[in-house]
Amino acid sequence: MGAKFAPSYANLYMGWWEETHISADMRKSLRLYTRYIDDLLCVWKGDEMSFITFVQKLNQNELNLKFTSEYRSKTIEFLDVKLMVVDKEIQTTIFRKSCSGNTLLHATSCHPKNLVDGIPVGQFLRLRRNCSTNMKFQEQAEEMKERFLDRGYGRKIVDRAYQRARQTERRSLLSVNPMGEKKKKVKQGLLKKVPFVTRYSKQFYMVLDIVKKYIPILYADDDFHKILKGGVNSIPRRSHTLRDHLSPSMYRETNRGDQRNKGFLKVEGSHKCGSRRCITCQHMKISKEFKSTVTNTSFKIRDYINCNTSTVVYLITCLKCQKQYVGCTSRTLKRIREHLSQIKNPKTVEKSNITRHFSKCNGSDVAYFSVQGIEKVRLGSRGGNLAGLLAKRELFWIFYLHTRLQLGLNYEFDVTCFT
């Protein structure tokens, strides 16, 4: 149930399903049929076999719905409630899985005070509502008190919440919305106040003090006075959590379209760095696009790249025979000078295929050596393996620009980055 609409959607679907797929025949044996989203609780009149057949029938569907069932004659658990038959009567108590730990919000958690203090109230009222006898309530309440104390709640707050639940009539908690009227009035009262919404932090109450202290200044203005005389209704928004930082929602980013040019610089293309001593500059082809000399297809360079750009895929073109080579570096494009010095040095020229080509094709004349940065490789905000991604992008361009042997100068390439 990840998305907000998921429970509503599941409810609608199951509502449709139960109306159209449970036959009148089945209904005869169903003494009770209730559902919470996709959890069913049924009281079945009949023997074991007939119930098993019933579930089998439910499972024979083309809707890809699968039902699992559990049936017992004396006790059964449903959601957080345990139902028991005692003296021909159904009694209820709280059901907690034996493996469930203490998941109550910690008292020192960074939440508004009234929210934290409200949790014991809500929890004890839940016990009161779900336990059919006073004894069961008492039993469960004792356990719950311990859990609250373990989580750093003050004994006073816990006791007060317990007493409040104990003194509340259970019947009133079972009606649909016992506090409806009261809530409505409170809401109407609040509506007259101007909402002051701010993100919750440890300084939240200090901020409120400042607002309270200085709001009378605004009363000097007639219009403001009219609007603000009821005071402000401060509403804390949820503060950032570790979860937000560790797994941020990608939604906003993908919605804003291309995020490549994150800096202020909106210029795209391959450029010189302009340093007088830079050797790469001498061979850098200033360009906004690059072209496969095999397929004649042009591609836009969608990043700003110069000799100082690192983690970049580059394209070398031999200006004499037009053959091309795709390479990548996790260092800056200045490393191109290593290719150049290898070409110029007879001792090293045979070391790699690309340098060997320049010696054979044009007698090691680096004037035929032209380079373009074609893609600056970046990780998305989820992070990952940059070296791996760089290798993948290099491989992508080797294949896309047809720079493999015969047509191009990439004699070797490594596909292990995809394993």
Q: Quote the least distance from Cβ 279 to Zn ion, whole Å.
A: 8
Query: Which long-range contacts does 116-124 make (Cβ < 8 Å, 24+ apart)?
Result: 116/153, 117/157, 120/148, 120/153, 120/157, 120/158, 120/160, 120/161, 120/162, 121/161, 121/164, 121/165, 123/148, 123/161, 124/161, 124/162, 124/164, 124/165, 124/166
Distance of alpha carbon 347 from alpha carbon 174, whole angstroms: 91
Q: Quote the least distance from Cβ 306 to Zn ion, whole Å.
A: 6
Number of residues that bind Zn ion (CB under 5 A): 10
Nearer to Zn ion, 302 or 335 (CB): 335
Q: Which of 93, 130, 140, 280 binds Zn ion (CB under 5 A)?
A: 280
Stretch that binds Zn ion, among 76-84, 151-159, 273-281, 392-400 (CB under 5 A): 273-281
Stretch that binds Zn ion, among 31-39, 212-220, 271-279, 290-298 (CB under 5 A): 271-279
Q: Residue 305 — φ and ψ, nearest 5°?
A: -130, 130
Nearer to Zn ion, 124 or 358 (CB): 358
Q: Residue 210 — φ and ψ, nearest 5°?
A: -65, -45
Q: Which of 273, 366, 389, 407 binds Zn ion (CB under 5 A)?
A: 273
Q: Quote the least distance from Cβ 199 to Zn ion, whole Å.
A: 46
Stretch that binds Zn ion, among 175-183, 205-213, 243-251, 281-289 (CB under 5 A): 281-289
Q: Quote the least distance from Cβ 322 to Zn ion, whole Å.
A: 7
Nearer to Zn ion, 91 or 370 (CB): 370
Distance of alpha carbon 16 from alpha carbon 35, whole angstroms: 13
Positions in 304-333 near Zn ion (CB under 5 A): 307, 318, 320-321, 323
Nearby residues of 29 by Cβ (< 8 Å), 6 or more positions away = 44, 45, 46, 50, 51, 54
Distance of alpha carbon 21 from alpha carbon 16, whole angstroms: 8
Nearer to Zn ion, 60 or 406 (CB): 406
Distance of alpha carbon 205 from alpha carbon 227, whole angstroms: 23
Q: Quote the least distance from Cβ 328 to Zn ion, whole Å.
A: 18
Q: Quote the least distance from Cβ 317 to Zn ion, whole Å.
A: 9
Q: Where are the alpha helices (DSSP H) in 168-264?
A: 170-174, 180-191, 204-218, 222-228, 242-246, 251-255
CA distances for 48 relative to 28, 29, 45, 263, angstroms = 15, 12, 9, 69
Nearer to Zn ion, 57 or 320 (CB): 320
Stretch that binds Zn ion, among 5-13, 42-50, 265-273, 374-382 (CB under 5 A): 265-273
Q: Quote the least distance from Cβ 394 to Zn ion, whole Å.
A: 20
Nearer to Zn ion, 128 or 303 (CB): 303
Residue type (1 letter), 53: T
Q: Quote the least distance from Cβ 105 to Zn ion, whole Å.
A: 57
Q: Decide: is 356 part of the binding site for Zn ion (CB under 5 A).
A: no
Q: Decide: is 26 part of the binding site for Zn ion (CB under 5 A).
A: no
Q: Are 280 and 273 in contact (CB under 8 A)?
A: yes
Q: Decide: is 361 part of the binding site for Zn ion (CB under 5 A).
A: yes
Stretch that binds Zn ion, among 85-93, 112-120, 258-266, 269-277 (CB under 5 A): 269-277
Stretch that binds Zn ion, among 46-54, 135-143, 216-224, 274-282 (CB under 5 A): 274-282
Nearer to Zn ion, 131 or 278 (CB): 278
Q: Are 360 and 296 in contact (CB under 8 A)?
A: no
Q: Are 137 and 124 in contact (CB under 8 A)?
A: no
Nearer to Zn ion, 157 or 279 (CB): 279
Stretch that binds Zn ion, among 5-13, 39-47, 92-100, 301-309 (CB under 5 A): 301-309
Strand 369-376 and strand 39-44: pairing?
unpaired
Which of 163, 174, 99 lies closest to 131, judged by CA? 174
Helix (H/G/I), strand (E/B), else coil: 267: coil
Distance of alpha carbon 392 from alpha carbon 311, whole angstroms: 12
Q: Decide: is 409 part of the binding site for Zn ion (CB under 5 A).
A: no
Q: Are 71 and 48 in contact (CB under 8 A)?
A: yes
Q: Decide: is 281 part of the binding site for Zn ion (CB under 5 A).
A: yes
Residues at the interface with Zn ion (CB under 5 A): 273, 278, 280-281, 307, 318, 320-321, 323, 361
